[in-house]
Structure 1
Amino acid sequence: MDIREAQSAASELLSQAKAQGATAVELHLGEFSFKAEFAPPVFAAPAVAAAPAPLAAPQPAPAAEEPAAPAIEGTPVPSPIVGTYYSSPSPEDEPFVTVGQEVKKGDVLCIVEAMKMLNEIQSPCDGKVARIYLQNGELVEFGQTVMVIQ
């Protein structure tokens, strides 16, 4: 097995393990092996996605975070899964919703792609889209607020 195959297998295993709430994972593929432990999820204001760190080196906590955006009153819409946020059904289509748009309970707000499955996120209530926290193509964590409906 070459390094690319091992990296692909490791990446797939990590994605599945995090999506299922695992706290640790260990993989042995021929001469390649690694072990990863996950910190419990922290439900805070969404952060800008950064490039993934190497598997062997855990990331230290930042010394000081940037100030969070002011909280917006309304109903938060959390992501039910880990995946990639998409605001429209395809790149050439208009977004499902925009800030200020009125929505009804059950309207599709966005898509979160996980393992090649497209999961529609629906509005939990009637109201107006007050804020969208993510940009198209950004990674989203389980429980991370995607948008707020007022």
Structure 2
Amino acid sequence: MDIKEIQNLIKFVAKSGASEVKLEMDDIKITIKTGSESDTTIVHQVPATPIPQATPVAAPPVVTEVTTQVKEPAATEDSKYITIKSPIIGTFYRKPSPDKPLFVEVGQTIAEGDVLCIIEAMKLFNEIESEVSGKIVKILVDDSSPVEFDQPLFLVDPS
């Protein structure tokens, strides 16, 4: 398991909300504990095969500690924006079909009732309409990406 996979695992656990995850494989043990102050990951790596040495010297075990700080979302700039969230689980699409134009783009002014995107769930295509009027500041999800219930999709400036 390389460092990239460990970092992805840390991100996944942080998003899932689990308080502790333990993973043990043949040559590696990983414990990820999430707390209110910081997220800590401890990785213990044990050599897969012992290496015989010419002189009887005790080899220290290989222990690697990885500590990451997960920053809480800053409530500075984004606090003045309204977040439009996904009402269902499914696949997010920014346009009605591949050959059609996008529903909305960053900087576009929207009105209440405008279609912002489509979320496909079980072969049903659900149009997601805006409940607010304003200007699209940021699109938080990539086209054709899976989305969860209550996942932020758009930031809208109501002013």
Same fold (TM over 0.5): yes
Give ranges in structure 1 of 5+ residues lacking alignment: 1-40, 43-59
Aligned to 1:97, the other structure's residue is in SS state coil
Cα distance in structure 1, aligned partners of 2:70 and 2:140 = 15
Cα distance in structure 2, aligned partners of 1:108 and 1:65 = 38
Match of 2:116 among 101, 104, 109: 109
Aligned to 1:125, the other structure's residue is in SS state coil
Match of 1:141 among 145, 148, 152: 148
- With a CA cutoff of 8 Å and minimum separation of 6, indicate the structure with the bigger relative contact order: 1
Match of 2:125 among 105, 115, 118: 118
Cα distance in structure 1, aligned partners of 2:92 and 2:115 = 13
**What's the Cα RMSD here?**
2.7
Larger radius of gyration: 2
Cα distance in structure 2, aligned partners of 1:85 and 1:68 = 25
Partner AA of 2:131 in structure 1: P
Report how many residues are paired. Answer: 95
Distance 1:113 1:126, change over 3 A: same
Give ranges in structure 2 of 5+ residues lacking alignment: 1-15, 18-31, 34-38, 42-67
Partner AA of 1:98 in structure 2: E
Percent identity (aligned): 38
Higher strand share: 2
* TM-score, length basis structure 1: 0.55
The runs of at least 4 aligned residues of structure 1 exceeding 6 Å deviation read none
